[in-house]
Amino acid sequence: MTDERPSKPLSLVFLGIILGINFLDVTTSVIPSPADHLWPIPEKPVWMWCLQVGLVVPFLWIMKGPLTTLGSTLRDSQIPRPALYTVGLFVLTAATHVSLRYESFPFSPVAMFSSGVTPRTDNAVKSEGYVVVDENGGVTPFAPLIEGSSLFGRYGLDWDYKSGWAVYIYGYVQSHARDELKAELAARGYPHVVRTRYVYDRRTGEVLWPKLKKKAP
């Protein structure tokens, strides 16, 4: 005789989804993100905050059962404890990053655009975007995704992973984002930022075209 547990009513499932969306909206609004200065988010009135925070309580009540069941299942599973704790910590870290809008590679990469591609065989690659021109006329491509990393960023911008990704996808068509980018680079000693097409060597990253000459004093 099989032990069949009663399924949740469909209305309760929909209610849980709606309350879950509200819960994520609350958590993503608690701590400001470095990307907010590029795309300012309107402030919520006090009554809306009270309503949304109040709806967190029934959401936690609905999730208590599934979380308890999940915990019991994992506790009784045959998965080795070191592997279970390692994967669990990784998932918990990723969930925390997403819920607080502090995505950070590799814990929460945006992989929805990943696809199989043919590897490049040519060394000279054409591209379009922003380039930074130094005082000697040297041209360096500006890579928003790299600048979103505190470890690999070249210009010391106060960005996170999400800021770099947002500028990479939307920054070229948002005048506010372009002005913010140019102002931040100018404050760090890089006043010449140009949007252009360029060719670079994929092995070294050196810009092959255009070659700008240093202006005469």
pLDDT digits (tens, 9 = 90+) for 116-127: 445 566 788 888
Structure tokens at 178: 């372009």
Identify whether the C-beta of residue 159 lies closer than 8 Å to the C-beta of residue 153: yes
Q: Read off the pLDDT of residues 30-52 as tens digits, 9 standing for 90 and up.
A: 777 666 666 666 778 899 999 99
Taking the C-alpha atoms of residue 210 and residue 126, their distance in angstroms, rounded to an integer, is 11
Instruction: Please identify every stretch of the chain with a pLDDT value under 70, giving residue numbers as ranges.
Output: 1-8, 33-41, 102-121, 171-174, 211-217
Q: Read off the pLDDT of residues 69-82 as tens digits, 9 standing for 90 and up.
A: 888 988 888 889 89
Q: Domain-by-domain residue ranges, the chain?
A: 10-77, 124-209
Residues 6 or more apart from 102 whose CB is under 8 A from it? 31, 33, 96, 160, 162
Q: What angle do CA 195, 170, 166 make, to 5 degrees?
A: 110
